[in-house]
Amino acid sequence: MISFSQVSFSYDESPVLHHIDLAVEKGEMVALLGPNGSGKTTLIKLACGVLRPAEGDIHLDGSSLRQLKRKQVAQRVAVVPQHFHMPFAFTLREVVLLGRTPFLKALSNEGERDQQAVNRAMEGVGIEELGQRFFNELSGGERQKGILAMALAQEPKLLLLDEPTAHLDINHQMEILELVKGLNREQRITVIGAMHDLNLAALYFDRLVLLKDGRIFADGPPSQVLTEENIREVFGAWVQVIQHPWMKTPHIVITPRSTQARQSKSASNIIGRTKEL
């Protein structure tokens, strides 16, 4: 679907990504993880062609992104960012229709096909009732669903998410990720998402790519990537990784420092005692 080969990128003088090699196959659902500034968002922006790599190349379905026009890329790749600020009173449906931008000619209005794509996208996300409401007056969760519908109206083969749940309540975080997972399962849309929440990533994504200082530190299924050592190494955080009671995926728990010390003492006490036995 998309492959990065030896991609490097820097903003002005400060390098962000170093020689990234990453291939994502059709139908995969991949999360990009890493601390702020590790290059997740840059990777997303490179994948949709908004940024151009300084070195190396990115191939989308075999053709180099350098050879494709912005419009051609947008006909296959859609992006859902954290949030959009909308200064004007567009209705939700009008916003979703913006997803058809790469398909419309300069003067032609939307046709049947575009209307159908918008309808499908809104039904897919479950917001067909809200079409005539003003985008700005919707709740954060509804807005984010609208943005997801806008991306779906592009009928993308590859869906890129840039921390799509960063500003949402826990129920909307779940809802958005359930929707994305469903799209990935049912329509085989390839998904690459930059994620902040490691536990959500472990629950909804099949493959995790852990970035550190612009390099890929680990890449694999959640159980391999989300280990205590990896998290300590990449985030500098001391955490405990337990198993999710039903999913059997790794689940990260944090313990406040004050209790940590006590806990580890009593833990070693327990271990000591079992040894004695």
Partner 1 sequence: MKAKMLALLRRNRRTVLILACLVGILLVCLLVAAAVGAVAIPPLDIVKMSLNKVAFTNFAPTWQTTDETILFQIRLPRVIAAALVGAALAAAGVLFQGLLRNPMADPYIIGTSAGAAFGATLAMMLPVSLLFHGFGLIPFAAFFGALGAVFLVYNLARVGGKTPVISMLLAGFAVSSMLAAAMSFLITMSDQLQLRLHSVFSFLMGGVWVSDWSQIAIIAPIIIGGIVVARFFAFRLNAFSLGEEGAAYLGIDVERDKLAILGLGSLLTGAAVSLSGLVGFVGLVVPHAVRLVLGPDHRLLLPAAALSGGAFLVVADLLARTVLAPSEIPVGIITALVGAPFFIYLLRRTRREYAF
Span of 22-30, 68-76, 201-209, 258-266 interacting with partner 1 by CB under 8 A: 68-76
Q: Which is nearer to partner 1, 58 or 226 (CB)?
A: 58
Q: Does 81 bind partner 1 (CB under 8 A)?
A: yes
**Pattern 27-66, partner 1, x by CB under 8 A:** ---------------------x-x----------------
Cβ at position 219, least distance to partner 1 in Å? 26
Indicate the residue type of 258: S
Torsion from C-alpha of 136, 137, 140, 141, nearest 10 degrees: -110
**Pattern 86-125, partner 1, x by CB under 8 A:** xxxxxx--x---xx-xx-x-xx-x----------------
Q: Are the C-beta atoms of 39 and 53 separated by less than 8 Å?
A: no
**Residue 64 φ then ψ, to 5°:** -65, 135
Shortest CA distance to 226 belongs to which of 199, 186, 245?
199
Q: Does 78 bind partner 1 (CB under 8 A)?
A: yes
Tell me the number of residues near partner 1 by CB under 8 A. 33
Shortest CA distance to 51 belongs to which of 100, 106, 9, 5?
9
Q: Does 14 bind partner 1 (CB under 8 A)?
A: no
Q: Does 85 bind partner 1 (CB under 8 A)?
A: yes
- Burial (CB count within 10 angstroms: exposed 0-12, middle 13-18, buried 19+), residue 122: buried
Q: Does 227 bind partner 1 (CB under 8 A)?
A: no
Choose, by CB under 8 A, the member of 38, 42, 144, 154 that binds partner 1: 154
Cβ at position 234, least distance to partner 1 in Å? 27
Residues near partner 1 (CB under 8 A) are 12, 48, 50, 69-75, 78-79, 81, 84-91, 94, 98-99, 101-102, 104, 106-107, 109, 136-137, 154
